[in-house]
Amino acid sequence: MTTNSDTHLDTQWETYEVFHQTKRGDPHIHVGAVHAPDPQMALQMARDQFARRLKCTSIWVIRTADVARTDYQDETFFARVIDKSYRDPKAFGAPIKESADGA
């Protein structure tokens, strides 16, 4: 079999992550994934699979390949910054404000 530019076999559908919203104003929550040939079909399949039993007002689908994620090996990504000198106003060199009475 041949492969396309996404390195999927041409007989395989793409994977889409599914996010579900229970009621308007609530956050969308990841509920699973579906395989589909395109985003519109992914929405229909997600509706059939995840909105059948659960109350649902909105569904989002996103190609799994488009999800940006961190690497478990990159411990420095979540390292906390202890130096907060950027918060000190002295670092900005702002002009000294004179009082209203001219003194």
Average pLDDT value for the chain: 83
Counting as low any pLDDT under 50, the low residues of the chain are: 1-4
Per-residue confidence (pLDDT) for residue 77, from 0 to 100: 83
The predicted model scores a pTM of 0.64
- The CATH number of the domain holding residue 33 is 3.10.20.520
Q: Is residue 86 part of a domain?
A: no
Q: Is residue 73 part of a domain?
A: no
Q: Is residue 103 part of a domain?
A: no
- Give pLDDT tens digits for 67-80: 998 888 888 888 87
Per-residue confidence (pLDDT) for residue 2, from 0 to 100: 44
Residue 70 near residue 77 (C-beta atoms within 8 A): yes
Q: Which domain holds residue 27?
A: 9-67
Per cent of the chain over pLDDT 70 is: 79
> Rg of the chain's alpha carbons, rounded to an integer?
25
Backbone angles phi, psi at 63, to 5 degrees: -60, 130
Q: Is residue 28 part of a domain?
A: yes
3-state secondary structure of 96: coil
- If one counts the domains in the chain, the total is 1
Q: Is residue 56 part of a domain?
A: yes
